[in-house]
Amino acid sequence: MTPLFNVGSYVEETRFGATQHDSYHNISGRGQSRRLKQGQIIKLTPRFFVSGFDALIQWTDGTKDCRVAGQYHLNLLPAPNLKKRLLAGKFDCLYHMTHIQNLSSILASGILSNAEIKRRRVSIADISDSSVQARRDEIEPIYDRSIHEYVPFYLNPKNPMLYRRKEMQNEIVIIAVSTSVLSSNCHVFTDGNAAANATLFSDDESVINNSKDVLCAQYWTDYDDGKRRRCAEVLVYPSVGVKYIEKIACNNEATRAHVASITNIQSTIEKGLYF
């Protein structure tokens, strides 16, 4: 049986056609249908001798337990509108920075992970630090994938990564993506630069609380381990569709005008995001 969902999928639990009293879900009688819970699948395990999968789910109320995916009387349905609002709404967007030369490719194919870019043999203008990129070949501990299999997003784009590219500020665009992408794509949260040895990884956004003070500060240098923590990331697997892009921020009018000439996506000048 092919699973209806993937690890990382957001789902809602709905009871259909109850044939007897269900004390666990407080449903009685026949033909009941009501939404019960919403959450994210964090593990799928094939069932032996019977069809279906055991789905371990992190519910929005903070609890975790299993449901049978595919069982006829207790169904899990996609929950595409279960939007994540990081840190109680403090961060409504995820930010991906790239060279302006890459924008046409992104508008055509979406934002691709480094691994996907190599598989498709896409030619890009690379603004990354080669020494840091080498460390991203390592495997993250949540889903056992290479960090390069994920699209990296920052919660605060005005960070050490962008600072190291001060001479390129006019050529870099900052793409703001809706956090609703987390409702459909598998993802991992980090409390700092994903390539740093001290960084923690989690499937729970609360790990970002470790760096909330630095993320919201004017200067990361005022905080212990601020350089690493200012680069807290949300890693999204394996690519992000154009439909999730909310706006494209630029450092100058010439770049903004170019963006506006190739897409109807909102383009803005936001010098406050740059150095």
User: Which residues are documented as binding site for NAD(+)?
Assistant: 96-98, 136
Residue positions forming the annotated binding site: 96-98, 136
Q: Which residues pair with 64 in a beta bridge?
A: 58
| Active site residue ranges | 136, 233
Query: Do the Cβ atoms of 8 and 204 come closer than 8 Å?
Result: no
Angle at 207 between CA 204 and CA 213, to 5 degrees: 140
CA distances 176 to 173, 246, 273, Å, are: 10, 6, 11
Handedness of CA 58, 63, 66, 67 (dihedral sign): negative
Label residues 235-268 b or e (16+ Cβ within 10 Å = b).
bbbbbbeeebbebbbbbeeebbebbeeebebebe
Write the CB contacts of 242 (distance below 8 Å, at least 6 apart in sequence). Answer: 106, 107, 110, 265
